[in-house]
């Protein structure tokens, strides 16, 4: 089940306390159950995959073709459809639903969400430029980015040049974020630290791609407590 992902809504941030009194800032996500809408076989498209549906949507918001698609599958309409490649499709059947239980034995996850949009921003805010001099010889261009090109050769501004422009509102992936707590009853997922995006924004959560040997906070606290109990051989 770790091949698939869930989509949640970012509620906000809070904090969690451990028994030792250690405080950890966490981001709270309201996770929605995913439903298997379609199972894609190797013979049909040349690869194995499953199509999952997330969220609710009014029928008035659907096109005729999508209404027909959901009617054929005999399932309620979903707001978002997402496809995931899988090794074995036998584990999935149309109509099956998956929730937070897929992260039962998972300690670290990857998240993908959109950053907060900042609109049109200057070079100083967008790229942390220092700006021009604030003294003699500079007129009404203290926060400009300065020269952007060379001379007659090459006679153009290269693509990717750091300049003023639209800032934020881009998809960003955060890797190896620790799961602090899961609340199956209320479908809440508590992740360590902050996650890009504003409140009520969509966040895709899946098992961490990188197989890292990283200790969780609980394991670190346990190791520290064990070290206190173990007598130091150097001290006599």
Nearest to 216 by CA among 186, 196, 189, 191: 191
| 13-37 per-position pLDDT tens digit | 999 998 888 899 999 999 989 999 9
Q: What is the domain-level CATH number for residue 192?
A: 3.30.160.810
Q: How many distinct structural domains can be found in the chain?
A: 1
**DSSP calls for 21-84:** --EEEEEEEEEPPEEEEEEE-HHHHSS-EEEEEEEE--GGGS-HHHHHHHHHHTS--EEEEEEE
Answer whether 44's CB lies under 8 Å from 32's CB.
no
Give the rounded percent of residues in the chain with a pLDDT score beyond 90: 62
**Total-model pTM:** 0.86
CA distance 134 to 124: 14
Please indicate, yes or no, if residue 135 is contained in any of the structural domains.
no
| 65-77 per-position pLDDT tens digit | 999 999 998 889 9
Please indicate, yes or no, if residue 153 is contained in any of the structural domains.
no
- What Å distances lie between residue 61 and 57, 66, 72, 79, 83, CA to CA? 7, 10, 18, 9, 21
Could you tell me the residue range of the domain that residue 123 belongs to? Answer: 5-127+173-229
Please indicate, yes or no, if residue 138 is contained in any of the structural domains.
no
The per-residue pLDDT for 19 is: 85
Please indicate, yes or no, if residue 95 is contained in any of the structural domains.
yes
């Amino acid at each position: 089940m770790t091949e698939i992902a869930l989509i949640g809504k970012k509620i906000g941030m809070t904090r969690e306390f451990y028994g030792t009194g250690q405080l950890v800032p966490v981001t709270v996500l309201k996770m929605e159950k995913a439903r298997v809408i379609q199972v894609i076989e190797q013979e049909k498209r040349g690869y194995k995959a499953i199509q999952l549906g997330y969220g609710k949507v009014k029928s008035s918001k659907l096109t005729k073709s999508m209404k027909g698609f959901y009617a054929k599958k005999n399932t309620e309409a979903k707001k978002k459809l997402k496809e995931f490649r899988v090794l074995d499709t036998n584990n999935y059947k149309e109509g099956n639903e998956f929730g937070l239980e897929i992260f039962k034995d998972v300690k670290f996850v990857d998240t993908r969400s959109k950053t907060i949009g900042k609109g049109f921003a200057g070079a100083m805010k967008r790229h942390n430029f220092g700006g021009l001099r604030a003294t003699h010889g500079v007129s009404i261009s203290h926060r400009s980015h300065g020269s952007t090109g060379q001379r007659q050769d090459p006679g153009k501004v290269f693509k990717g040049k750091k300049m003023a422009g639209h800032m934020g509102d881009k998809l960003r992936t955060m890797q190896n974020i620790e799961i602090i707590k899961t609340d199956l009853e209320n479908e809440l997922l508590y992740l360590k630290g902050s996650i890009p995006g504003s409140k009520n924004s969509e966040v895709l959560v899946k098992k961490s791609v990188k197989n890292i040997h990283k200790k969780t906070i609980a394991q670190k606290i346990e190791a520290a407590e064990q070290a206190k109990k173990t007598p130091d051989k150097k001290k006599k």
